[in-house]
Structure 1
Amino acid sequence: MKLAFILDPLDSIKIGKDSSYAMMCEAASRHHQLYTLQQSGLAWKNHQVIGFARSLTLIDPPDNPHRWYEEGVIEEIPLTEFDAVLMRKDPPFDTEYIYSTYLLELAERQGAYVVNSPRGIRDHNEKLAITEFPQFIPSSLVTSQEQLILQFLAEHKDIILKPLDGMGGAGIFRMQNTDHNIGVIIETLTRYGTRTIMAQRFLPEIREGDKRILLIAGKPVDYALARIPKPGETRGNLAVGGTGKVQPLSARDRKISEELGQILYARGLMLIGLDVIGNHLTEINVTSPTGMREISDQTGINVAGLMIDALEQNIH
């Protein structure tokens, strides 16, 4: 297969934990051709969507964390010439990201195969998408209105506030009704009532970890990555110092995964990361889900291999 990965700059990739790198390594081991491009490398030209892409050769083993690849020269390649285009650009999901999904959707109409589906990415905000499945989620509120947030806080006493476009735990606040900075926190997050945010009831089960469950082609990987907060933190994200501990899926984890898996896969979302705290679904990650390396390292399961298997089955 000829695979194109849309990524952030390669020098920013942390190969010790990056799922895109794991997928590229697995694809290279099967002698598939690799190409990379950045979001800015997408263009509509001469009535077709093209990518300004470079061929990629992995150095195995890598010389160092920043010397793990060799790139070819930039080539102008119609996206339809790739067997699959993998959209793995990290958030923020800003206007440029939306424009990229429009271009990728045009490429799909011309015959390109894009993973995850650009429409699927665009239609599933990673925070808001959980509202489709109220039976699995904690008490939640989506609003820009201070008064509604104050009412929610009065009801639940202990809540989490988070922006709708963040990643890696950025911008997340825990707020209790005894705090002295309630007003300024709400003003900061909502930008004085001009930005919509999400509030959720605080889940004390976070001490046991914020579980990342990977769904590949609608089916869950058998183990979740529980991201356990460091002392003094309420966020388990590895990006803010959480510790990753792999554990088998619980019965509740499987119920959530199996109910959502086929629904979301039917919408073109081949690789999904569900976030579950205790028994509650808190996010549905569709842009660039991570966790493959940690699960593989601690269990021996070749998670990247499951993903490349799914790609091969869909293409051939």
Structure 2
Amino acid sequence: MPDLQNLRVAFQMDPMEGVNIAEDTTFALALEAQRRGATLFDYGPQHLAYDAGRVIAHARPMTLRDTVGDHVRFEDRRIIDLTDDIDVVWMRQDPPFDMAYITAAHLLERLKGQTLVANDPQWVRSLPEKIVPLDYVHLMPPTMIARDPVMIDAFRKRHGTVIIKPLYGNGGAGIFKIAPDDSNYSSLLEMFFASNPEPVMVQAFIPEVSAGDKRILIVDGQLAGGFNRVPLKGETRSNMHVGGIAELVELTDTDIAIAEELGPMLHARGQILVGIDVIAGRLTEINLTSPTGVHELKRFTGVDTAAMCWDAIAVRLKRNF
């Protein structure tokens, strides 16, 4: 296990004091770094700035404990230079994937070749989670991205029951199952299009989702493992944010083949921790922004994905990324 003595790590994240340490992947990553000797900082995207050639952050030095109710201690905030003062930045704030998120990725991209940023912000920005799978259409269920109701109507007529979801949403929010005779369909499109200017994603419904949606974790291009997320009775969404239940599952040959096909692309593009979603052998999303599931995978399989991530980062640091 490579140690990280003297390594300085900054987490760009939602506030650490608010996380659930039994479930939060960022906490697991940070705690593993601290165990290996790293010094930790946290800051939010609102604390990130560009100043006369420098990318800086108004950050808090922090010390973690694996203790519910007392899991983090902070020192006073101070300005840190993300080139001179930091060796690794983890971009781990939750979406929405909006212009604020894209701007933060642009700023962190200016650290390229000087400070390792995980996941590489150039590709996080350029590969939105519901668009990057389009490079692998042969792995996906039938999918449309559109804003024109006439086009969406034609897709529905071809495929019957469909799933409609925001193109840049997360955590299962705003996902709807629409049956062919659903009287809410037109109102739903009106709501989507009135609230934002983007197209929506429409996919043919996969009935097997009732048996679960697999979350498969990939670390620097290598398959780590996976588990199942089963939706609550009466639900089609299996995301744990909306009540999906995690359970042990054996990955199929198809699941493994999907991960292995994606792996070289993810490695080449600096994506250290990625979560892909697979339903009945069909790829639905490639999660690059702040993928979760580290705790669940360790609980079900013993695989320590956080340790794998730091092993991979240590290798990249030795070869200057």
Q: How high is the TM-score relative to the length of structure 1?
A: 0.95
Match for residue 120 of structure 2 among 117, 121, 124: 117
- Measure, in 1, the Cα distance between the counterparts of 2:17 and 2:209: 32
Deviation per CA, 1:77-134: give whole Å up to 9, x if none. 111121110100100011111110111011225x121111111100111111111111
Matches within 5 A, 1:207-218: 207-218=210-221
Aligned partners of 1:144 and 1:193 also within 8 Å: no
Task: String of CA shifts for 1:30-54, please: whole Å, max 9, x gaps.
Answer: 1111111110111111321111111
Look up the match of 2:95: 91
CA RMSD of aligned residues (A): 1.4
Point out the more displaced range, 72-81 or 83-92: 72-81
1:224 aligns with 2:226: yes
| Shift, 1:205, TM fit | 1.4
Q: Which residue of 1 aligns with 2:170?
A: 167
Contact 2:17 2:72 in 1 (8 A): no
Q: Is the 8 A contact 1:146 1:193 kept in 2?
A: no
CA displacement at 1:225 relative to structure 2? 2.0
Spell out the pairing of 1:261-272 with structure 2 (5 A cutoff): 261-272=263-274
Amino acid at match of 1:21: F
1:193 Cα deviation (Å)? 9.1
Change in CA separation of 1:71 and 1:192 when aligned onto 2, cut-off 3 Å: closer
Which is worse superposed, 225-234 or 72-81?
Answer: 72-81
1:30 aligned partner: 36
From 51, 70, 73, the equivalent of 2:57 is 51
Aligned counterparts of 1:245 and 1:311: Cα–Cα separation in 2: 29
Displacement of 1:192 in angstroms is 8.4
Alignment check: 8 A CA contact 1:164 1:198 kept: yes
2:245 to 243, 249, 265: 243
1:144 aligns with 2:147: yes
Could you list the structure 1 runs, at least 4 aligned residues long, displaced by more than 6 angstroms after superposition. none
Query: Which amino acid letter does the alignment assign opposite residue 143 of structure 1?
Result: A
Q: Percent identity?
A: 37
What's 1:153 paired with? 156
- Give yes or no for the alignment of 1:103 onto 2:107: yes
- 2:108 aligned counterpart, secondary structure: helix
Q: Summarize the alignment of residues 1-16 of structure 1 with structure 2, pairs less than 5 Å apart.
A: 1-16=7-22
Structure 2, unmatched stretches of 5+, are 1-6
Question: What is the CA–CA distance in structure 2 between the aligned matches of 1:288 and 1:121, rounded to whole Å?
Answer: 10
Residues in 1 aligned to 2:192 and 2:23: alpha-carbon distance in whole angstroms: 30
Q: What CA distance in whole angstroms lies between the structure 2 residues aligned with 1:41 and 1:310?
A: 28
Please give the TM-score of this superposition, normalised by the length of structure 2: 0.94
Separation in 1, partners of 2:160, 2:88: 48
Counterpart residue identity of residue 76, structure 1? I
Q: Distance in 2 between matches of 1:167 and 1:13?
A: 17
Work out whether residues 48 and 107 of structure 1, in 8 Å CA contact, stay in contact via their aligned partners in 2.
no
Aligned length: 311
1:271 & 1:301 partners in 2: Cα distance? 14
